[in-house]
């Protein structure tokens, strides 16, 4: 089969290259408009009860995470001149809308642009534009009046009005925080929030606020999920370019050092460029967006695809050095390397594809696109490289020097000595590593934060700490009370129970005071009685009738305030809070404590029910779901790869022996994560399945070569192992160098999760190379695995290595040395 395939590829090479060009242009067309994702990754599936409750909340009350907040803690803000400028800042932001010029460069349809035209900031609330309720006794309604219709003329007037504003309990811990801190809350239009237009809107907003800072010298702090999302999306976009450049540079350098040939650099890089286009085209065809995970795919696939090039070029040069026949050498390359590359790419793809089974949409997209393009990488490499090199001049002597490179021979000799004379030491060291790693793995915590992927000294995190210190945080948390009936809030005792819930919530140091219909009624009651703070209380049933009448006579725009706290039927009441970014573990404890108290004590004798929900909770609770599904996906990957190994070598003992050297690196990495406090979260969880799928390739190469040498040496175990270590060792060292430096480039990321992904994957693959070159042959030696133990289930599955396949050195010279 592979001989015919090789002949066909070289015979129809021009048509193959034309086909690759056409198909790549097609994929490029679909990849040109791939969009960035401006949402946090949702780990919980749509069918989960928590996600269902959240979607129901959004249907009733809209988006809960559309506020951008600006914090200030500077007494100079309340100086008359600065306060005027602060009010002008709020007025400018209120008028901030998307124009045609702002949308013209965005990659979206004209109809989508038209739908966003003149949308932007819905409203701004700050100390400079606060409102209060004023009862109109004649028309029996509340008028919504501004504290500052104009800025006062004197400092004394300003101070007096601000004192009145501080009496409004509604603004306590929402606008006015601890130690003189205050904030401006900017509400964004939901249609802008999750679109590409968020970026130009945020840029315009930041230009205005930066100008205010420069004019007044007052430092501003920024937070809110719209801001965090915009920062993270922009960072992902810039890092995509950075890592593409770095991975290409690392690849070019390694290839040149190995092969000392410009063509051996340019051709693989061209192939990699084609693969990157295919990745973007796949994202476009499937309608996926670029996230923090899918943004890693181009550089990751570059790193994974280059070993294919190394094996193919290395074999091509080795075969040409023997035959001096270019066509024959290329035919042999396809025939012999094609099937082994297919098998190793399959195991690598499995490591990615099992992520599809997690039920986590972000990981499913990552796994699907990776799996498809690993298959594409195999097809393109086996077609493109032989076809192109068939047109290029034959390699000269300089290009073949790497075949006799002796720089790695010292390392290979040490490996031989360890396997043949110091196996007990190998096992003792392995046992110690396993025990230490187990203790470390036990320390791993599955915890994530909303912004934990950003570095500690990044301004987003430092600003967030400001809001957590002075306002308890800005991450949204919601409680929905189901009163069981339409207009249920009017039922006897319902508002009292909601008030009791709010008082309990206020006692929790992690949560801001809840804002709800009860808060509005208390504020209205305070206004009804002249603004005295002693009347900031829930109206009696007699008073409630008057208050509701006054509220009912407001304008439609003013009524919108009350509809934020109750759905259209009046059955569901919303309690809106903010919480610090305390992490998934503490958040889970907090939610369980709050839910238990509310349901078990406050509402136990009623038919009222509550749902705790919100963007923060959905993001944080996903970690529990992640761990459960990670275990399942890893088990599936383990079984699938074991089946492949069993099919190739046909022996359960061999399958077990081959998997041990690939599981130890995973345990080692888990130990590192535990000891160094690296949490388990989406960006670090995928390390295990990816690394397992890649590292098992070394086992396949080694066992295949070992089986061949057992045939050549008529079952001489020691000789077969030595030759296998010498031949596969150099290739494994080369590819491991590529993989190590290919993944280590991610340490230059601004995201902590991406840094951990790159560093830990690099370490895992390095350890896997060592275990496959020392532990695997040691186990084969100890358990005396003979050629009869390596009989494949599928006939002919062992034919992907042949007697003349010596990739780095001349076999005849080895045998001559051994005989001497």
Question: For 449-482, what is each residue's pLDDT tens digit?
Answer: 767 666 666 677 788 888 888 888 888 889 999 9
pLDDT digit string, tens, across residues 375-410: 898 889 888 988 888 888 887 776 666 666 666 677
Compute the average pLDDT of residues 643-658: 77
If asked whether residues 145 and 277 sit together in one domain, one would say: no
* Count of domains observed in the chain: 4
DSSP 8-state symbol, 175:
T
Mean pLDDT over each residue of the chain, to the nearest integer: 81
Range with lowest mean pLDDT among 183-197, 543-557, 629-643, 789-803: 789-803
In a domain, 458, yes or no: no
pLDDT digit string, tens, across residues 79-137: 999 999 999 999 999 998 888 887 777 777 778 778 888 888 888 889 998 888 888 88
Compute the average pLDDT of residues 534-555: 81
**pLDDT score for 627:** 66
The burial of 469, by beta-carbon neighbours within 10 Å (0-12 exposed, 13-18 middle, 19 or more buried), is given as middle
pLDDT exceeds cutoff 50 at 487:
yes
Which of residues 213, 230, 247 is at a domain's end?
Answer: 230
If asked whether residues 394 and 535 sit together in one domain, one would say: no
pLDDT digit string, tens, across residues 670-721: 899 899 888 877 667 777 777 777 778 788 778 877 877 887 787 788 888 8
If asked whether residues 189 and 265 sit together in one domain, one would say: no
| Rounded Cα–Cα distance for residues 604 and 599 (Å) | 6
pLDDT exceeds cutoff 50 at 813:
no
| Rounded Cα–Cα distance for residues 666 and 771 (Å) | 11
**pLDDT score for 407:** 62
In a domain, 310, yes or no: yes
pLDDT exceeds cutoff 70 at 2:
no
If asked whether residues 328 and 431 sit together in one domain, one would say: no
**pLDDT score for 549:** 81
**pLDDT score for 820:** 42
In a domain, 167, yes or no: yes
Compute the average pLDDT of residues 533-543: 86
| Rounded Cα–Cα distance for residues 499 and 536 (Å) | 12
**pLDDT score for 298:** 79
In a domain, 448, yes or no: no
**pLDDT score for 818:** 43
Distances (CA, A) of 184 to 38, 205, 242, 817: 23, 13, 35, 80
pLDDT band at 811 (very low <50, low <70, confident <90, very high): very low
**pLDDT score for 357:** 75
pLDDT exceeds cutoff 80 at 505:
yes
If asked whether residues 387 and 436 sit together in one domain, one would say: no
| Rounded Cα–Cα distance for residues 93 and 110 (Å) | 26
If asked whether residues 168 and 215 sit together in one domain, one would say: yes
**pLDDT score for 396:** 75
If asked whether residues 728 and 593 sit together in one domain, one would say: no
79 SS3 class: coil
- In this structure, how many other beta carbons lie within 10 angstroms of the beta carbon of residue 48? 17
**pTM of the complete model:** 0.72
pLDDT digit string, tens, across residues 344-373: 788 778 877 877 776 677 778 888 898 899
**pLDDT score for 802:** 41
Which of residues 206, 230, 254 is at a domain's end?
Answer: 230
Residue 65 main-chain phi, psi, to 5 deg: -125, 50
pLDDT band at 1 (very low <50, low <70, confident <90, very high): low
DSSP 8-state symbol, 494:
H
- In this structure, how many other beta carbons lie within 10 angstroms of the beta carbon of residue 146? 11
pLDDT exceeds cutoff 60 at 791:
no
pLDDT band at 600 (very low <50, low <70, confident <90, very high): confident
* Residues 65, 318 contacting (CB under 8 angstroms): no
**pLDDT score for 740:** 83
If asked whether residues 68 and 207 sit together in one domain, one would say: yes
Query: What share of the chain in percent tops pLDDT 90?
Result: 14
pLDDT digit string, tens, across residues 284-311: 898 888 776 777 777 777 767 777 787 7
* Residues 130, 147 contacting (CB under 8 angstroms): yes
pLDDT exceeds cutoff 50 at 799:
no
In a domain, 660, yes or no: yes
If asked whether residues 14 and 145 sit together in one domain, one would say: no
In a domain, 643, yes or no: no
If asked whether residues 322 and 341 sit together in one domain, one would say: yes
If asked whether residues 705 and 785 sit together in one domain, one would say: yes
- Sign of the torsion formed by the C-alpha atoms of 518, 520, 523 and 528: negative
CATH number of the domain encompassing residue 322: 1.20.1640.10
If asked whether residues 570 and 583 sit together in one domain, one would say: yes
**pLDDT score for 455:** 62
pLDDT exceeds cutoff 90 at 151:
no
Compute the average pLDDT of residues 485-498: 88
Q: Where are the alpha helices (DSSP H) in 407-477?
A: 409-421, 423-442, 459-471
In a domain, 624, yes or no: no
Q: Return the exposure string of 578-605: e unless at least 16 CB atoms fall within 10 Å of the residue's CB, then b.
A: bbbbbbbbbbbebbeebeebbeeebbee
In a domain, 629, yes or no: no
What range defines the domain where residue 733 resides? Answer: 406-442+651-820
Distance in angstroms between the alpha carbons of the first and the last residue of the chain: 40
Higher pLDDT, 209 or 249: 209
| Rounded Cα–Cα distance for residues 167 and 142 (Å) | 18
Map 384-412 to HEC letters: HHHHHHHHCCCCCHHHHHHHHCCCCHHHH
pLDDT exceeds cutoff 90 at 428:
yes
């Amino acid at each position: 089969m592979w001989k015919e395939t090789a002949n066909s590829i070289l015979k129809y090479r021009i048509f193959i290259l034309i086909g690759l060009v056409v198909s790549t242009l097609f994929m490029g067309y679909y990849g040109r408009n791939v969009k960035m994702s401006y949402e946090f990754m949702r780990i919980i599936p749509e069918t989960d009860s928590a996600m269902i409750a959240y979607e129901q909340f959004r249907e009733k009350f809209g988006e809960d995470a559309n506020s951008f907040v600006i914090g200030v803690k500077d007494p100079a803000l309340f100086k008359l001149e600065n306060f005027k400028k602060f009010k002008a800042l709020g007025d400018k932001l209120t008028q901030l809308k998307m124009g045609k010029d702002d949308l013209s460069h965005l990659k979206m349809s004209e109809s989508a642009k038209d739908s966003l035209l003149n949308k932007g900031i819905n409203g701004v609330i700050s100390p400079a534009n606060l409102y209060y309720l004023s009862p109109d006794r004649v028309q029996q309604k509340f008028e919504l009046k501004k504290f500052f219709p104009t800025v006062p003329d004197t400092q004394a007037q300003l101070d007096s009005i601000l004192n009145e504003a501080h009496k409004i309990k509604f603004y306590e811990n929402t606008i006015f925080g601890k130690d003189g801190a205050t904030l401006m809350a900017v509400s964004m239009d939901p249609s802008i929030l999750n679109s590409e237009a968020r970026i130009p809107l945020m840029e315009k907003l930041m230009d205005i606020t930066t100008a205010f800072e420069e004019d007044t010298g007052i430092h501003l702090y920024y937070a809110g999920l719209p801001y965090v999302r915009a920062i993270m999306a922009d960072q992902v976009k810039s890092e995509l370019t950075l890592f593409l450049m770095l991975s290409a540079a690392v690849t070019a350098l390694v290839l040149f050092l190995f092969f000392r040939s410009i063509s051996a650099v340019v051709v693989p890089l061209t192939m990699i460029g084609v693969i990157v286009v295919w990745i973007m085209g796949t994202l476009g065809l499937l309608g996926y967006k670029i996230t923090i995970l899918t943004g890693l795919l181009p550089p990751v696939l570059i790193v994974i695809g280059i070993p294919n090039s190394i094996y193919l070029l290395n074999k091509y040069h080795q075969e040409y050095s023997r035959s001096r026949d270019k066509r024959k050498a290329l035919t042999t390359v396809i025939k012999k390397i094609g099937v082994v590359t297919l098998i190793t790419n399959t195991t690598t793809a499995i490591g990615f594809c099992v992520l599809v089974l997690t039920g986590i949409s972000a990981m499913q997209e990552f796994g699907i696109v990776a799996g498809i393009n690993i298959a594409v990488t195999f097809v393109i490499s086996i077609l493109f490289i032989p076809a192109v090199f068939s047109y290029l001049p034959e390699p000269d002597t300089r290009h073949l020097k790497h075949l006799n490179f002796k720089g790695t021979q010292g390392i290979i000799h040490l490996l031989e000595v360890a396997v043949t004379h110091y196996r007990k030491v190998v096992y003792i060291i392995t046992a110690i590593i396993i025990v230490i790693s187990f203790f470390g793995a036990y320390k791993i915590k599955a915890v994530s934060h909303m912004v934990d992927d950003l570095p500690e000294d990044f301004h987003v995190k430092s600003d967030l700490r400001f809001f957590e210190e002075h306002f308890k945080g800005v991450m949204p948390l919601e409680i929905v009370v189901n009163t069981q009936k339409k207009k249920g809030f009017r039922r006897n005792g319902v508002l009292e129970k909601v008030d009791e819930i709010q008082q309990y919530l206020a006692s929790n140091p992690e949560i801001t005071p809840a804002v709800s219909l009860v808060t509005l009624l208390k504020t209205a009651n305070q206004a009804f009685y002249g603004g005295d703070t002693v009347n900031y209380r829930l109206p009696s049933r007699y008073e409630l009738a008057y208050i509701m009448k006054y509220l009912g006579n407001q304008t439609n725009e003013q009524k919108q305030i009350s509809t934020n706290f109750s759905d259209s039927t009046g059955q569901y009441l919303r309690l809106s809070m903010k919480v610090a970014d305390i992490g998934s573990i503490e958040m889970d404890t907090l939610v369980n404590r709050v839910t238990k108290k509310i349901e078990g004590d406050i509402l136990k004798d009623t038919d009222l029910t509550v749902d705790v929900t919100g963007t923060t909770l959905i993001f944080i609770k996903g970690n529990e779901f992640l761990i459960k599904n990670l275990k399942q996906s890893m088990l599936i990957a383990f079984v699938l790869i074991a089946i492949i190994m069993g099919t190739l070598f046909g022996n359960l003992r061999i399958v077990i022996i081959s998997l041990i050297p690939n599981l130890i690196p995973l345990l080692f990495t888990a130990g590192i994560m535990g000891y160094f406090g690296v949490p388990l979260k989406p960006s670090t969880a995928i390390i295990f399945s990816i690394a397992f799928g890649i590292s098992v390739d070394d086992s396949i190469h080694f066992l295949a070569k070992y089986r061949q040498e057992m045939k050549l040496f008529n079952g001489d175990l020691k000789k077969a192992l030595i030759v296998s270590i010498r031949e596969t060792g150099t290739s494994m060292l080369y590819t491991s160098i590529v993989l190590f430096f290919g993944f280590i480039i991610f340490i230059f990321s601004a995201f902590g999760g991406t840094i951990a992904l790159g560093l830990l994957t690099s370490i895992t693959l390095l350890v896997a190379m060592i275990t496959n070159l020392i532990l695997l042959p040691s186990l084969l030696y100890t358990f005396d695995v003979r050629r009869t133990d390596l009989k494949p289930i599928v006939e002919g599955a062992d034919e992907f290595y042949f007697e003349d396949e010596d990739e780095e050195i001349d076999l005849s010279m080895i045998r001559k040395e051994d005989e001497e």
